[in-house]
A and B are shown apart, each in its own frame.
Chain A
Amino acid sequence: MLLSGDPPRGRALQILIALIVAALALSPFLFPGAKALNTAAKTCVMILLVASYDVLIGYTGIVSFAHVMFFGVGAYGVGLALYGLGASWGALIAGVLIAFALSLALALAIGLFSLRVQSIFFAMVTLAVAYAFNVLASQLSWLTGGEDGRSFKVPLALQPGFKWLDHPILGVQANGKLLAYYLVFAVVVVAFLLLLRVVNSPFGRVLQAIRENPFRAEALGYRTVFHRTLATCISALGATLAGALSALWLRYVGPDTALSFSIQVDVLVMVVVGGMGSLYGAIIGAALFVFAESYLQEAMAALSHLAADARLPLAPALFHPDRWLLWLGLAFVLAVYFAPLGIIGALKPREKA
């Protein structure tokens, strides 16, 4: 019921998903420390961002490069509202609503403008629009703070200094940071279940039909432009929400954390490695990616030193911690070729003929 009749298939996958969700749910208690909590919160935000992207790329078969733009709209909406109107819940809600409205308008405009033609056209147009948006956000410094971005205060209950219980719970300070984490977690869970509901609805089935064969879907009487545009809008709203949560957690918004094209690339890597066409892939992809980002670099630093000690040419540069995206890029290309359904596809039980 809660999972919309679409539970993860296969024992291995179920265990993996359950482990990740449990780890995220209990993260503040299991892994104390600021870095671990930041990693967990980033994972939650990324799960929502990647899941909403999967609605577009995995279920509808449309490649958009403007997904991070919507993420940025959410982040800037919340950030600028809290910055300009003061740290109140009203400002937060106003920011989210304005961001939703702007995202919806942008998604509608882009969708109606470019989805009539080929989907490849959409890919290029979104890339161009997202790029322009990024430039705009970093240049309009009177509004957005330019390259430096804006730091702002969140509502009192979410501030790290706020204590809502005098004694710690299970050894963890009962402060606003904990509340903020669980706010992020809860919103992501609800949004994820909603997205799961959407893709398993009759509407979601039509999206999959469009992905498989747009002409046949149209011949069956579905207006593909309408469905594609609606999918774009839903996906944009998901990304906006993720952006809002991200800004709320970081208490900062700037081009690097909210709009940079490298986030878009990260999202692509996550959705492909995790598995396109299944929202559970988003959970696995995001968890794996954030984990790799945080901990792969340390392993690579060790490897780089080893290679430097062995005096191998070029190898130290290739294993330099900043080059971790090189190896993920390699994994990405291999996944595109050999495992189009990503980790989800690899873990899926074989269907009986």
Chain B
Amino acid sequence: MSAFDVGAALPRQKIDILPALTPVIVALVAAPFIGSFSTFLTLTAAGLAMGMMIFTMASGLTLVFGMMDVLNFGHGAFIALGAYVATLVFLPLASWSNADSVALNLGVFVLAVLAAALTSGALGWVFERLIVKPVYGEHLRQILATIGGSIIAEQLLYALFGPDQIPLGLPKTLQGSFVFGEAAVEKYRVVATLVGLAVFAGEMLILNRTRIGLLIRAGVENREMVEALGYRIDRLFVGVFMAGSALAGLGGAMMALYRGQVHATIGGEFLVLCFIVIIIGGLGSVGGSFVASILVALVANYAGFLAPKLALVSNILAMVVVLLWRPRGLYPVSGR
């Protein structure tokens, strides 16, 4: 047999399936304790929806970190920004939202989340140029600069939108629940899950099937080598940063609609959750953060039902348990 067997496929990397199954395992373990099937279904659906929204916010953060080694503490500001932009669309178009037409209802929803994503993405460019660019490669100053940036951004949001909560109602079509027997699943949760799945599918397609995605993955693995091959990785990174901010804005808008109100504190709250998720998933791994988001949300939901006091720290406990099992997260990225 020739050593240069051209026809043979490259040895495929084994896909580690066990971490991906953790949410399923958690669900199966929790099911007998919950007892009633309809409750279990409701909790699981809620957990999936929550997980998808968290994933939307966290995947941008993990890509930005994986690629440029930048931990963006300003990510929360974009989450809050997206939420506020959604109110800018929803409040003037209240008549669309209350209309009986499904098309108008969905139109205002799509318009709001798109506006949130685009605005956040555009301001992500500004943030990257002004705040992050001068401090590449220095962790300490990066953390400080992005925190400073997030303080300024949060204060500007307060100055622009006022310090009070802004109520935000769902469009008529998306209110209410689908009822399966005894189990009720809110319609919006289904929508949120679908949006999250679409984001995940889109990211996976771009990362695995396009040239840009190839470069991004290469940059995550070894930035210097990509630069040495002649690619302007800083431009690529601006793009990734904008995409990450846009995802934060999208997730923020979805979450604000889910909660029915907007306040700037949403940023800090979900930034913490995003950190937990990307630590559990493995810093820099999109697939890992997908699994971790679902895991965290399911654990929080089940714990909230079974032991409400425990639910407050369930995220931290989940993180500790996962890190004891896999110290570098569910899907560690090589080179990190």
Q: Chain B residue with minimal CB distance to A121?
A: B279
How many Å lie between the Cα of A125 and that of B320 in the bound state? 10
* B147 / chain A contacts, CB cutoff of 8 Å: 265, 268, 332
Please tell me if the beta carbons of B148 and A336 are within 8 angstroms of each other in the complex: yes
Chain B 295-332 interface mask (CB, 8 Å, partner A; 1/0): 00000000000000100110110011001000110000
Give the contacting residue for A123; candidates B71, B149, B152, B163; CB below 8 A. B71
Q: Is B104 an interface residue (CB 8 A)?
A: no
- Grouping DSSP codes into helix (H, G, I), strand (E, B) and loop, the B interface class, with mixed when no group exceeds half, is helix
* A265 / chain B contacts, CB cutoff of 8 Å: 147, 151
* B71 / chain A contacts, CB cutoff of 8 Å: 120, 123-124
Classify chain A: how many residues form its interface, as a range. 35 or more
* A61 / chain B contacts, CB cutoff of 8 Å: 140
How many Å lie between the Cα of A83 and that of B320 in the bound state? 33
**Given A57-B140, A132-B312, A261-B268, A333:B155 Cβ within 8 A:** no
Please tell me if the beta carbons of B144 and A272 are within 8 angstroms of each other in the complex: yes
* B145 / chain A contacts, CB cutoff of 8 Å: 333, 336-337
Q: Is B134 an interface residue (CB 8 A)?
A: yes
Q: Is A135 an interface residue (CB 8 A)?
A: yes
Please tell me if the beta carbons of A136 and B139 are within 8 angstroms of each other in the complex: no
How many Å lie between the Cα of A268 and that of B140 in the bound state? 12
Please tell me if the beta carbons of B139 and A117 are within 8 angstroms of each other in the complex: no
Q: Chain A residue with minimal CB distance to B141?
A: A336
Classify chain B: how many residues form its interface, as a range. 35 or more
Q: Is A317 an interface residue (CB 8 A)?
A: yes
Give the contacting residue for B155; candidates A135, A140, A329; CB below 8 A. A329
Chain A 293-328 interface mask (CB, 8 Å, partner B; 1/0): 000000000000000000000100110101101101
Q: Count A-B contacts at CB 8 Å.
A: 99
How many Å lie between the Cα of A294 and that of B145 in the bound state? 25
**Given A336-B145, A340-B141, A132:B316 Cβ within 8 A:** yes
Please tell me if the beta carbons of B148 and A333 are within 8 angstroms of each other in the complex: yes
* B309 / chain A contacts, CB cutoff of 8 Å: 139-140
* A119 / chain B contacts, CB cutoff of 8 Å: 139
Please tell me if the beta carbons of A314 and B159 are within 8 angstroms of each other in the complex: yes
Q: Chain A residue with minimal CB distance to B131?
A: A333
Shortest distance between the CB of B318 and any CB in chain A (Å): 11
* B152 / chain A contacts, CB cutoff of 8 Å: 326, 329-330, 333
* B315 / chain A contacts, CB cutoff of 8 Å: 128, 132
The 6 listed contacts between A and B (C-beta, < 8 Å) are A63-B140, A128-B275, A135-B312, A314-B159, A332-B144, A337-B134
- Chain A positions near chain B (C-beta within 8 angstroms): 57, 61, 63, 113, 117-121, 123-125, 127-129, 131-132, 135-136, 139-140, 261, 265, 268-269, 272, 314, 317-318, 320, 322-323, 325-326, 328-330, 332-333, 336-337, 340
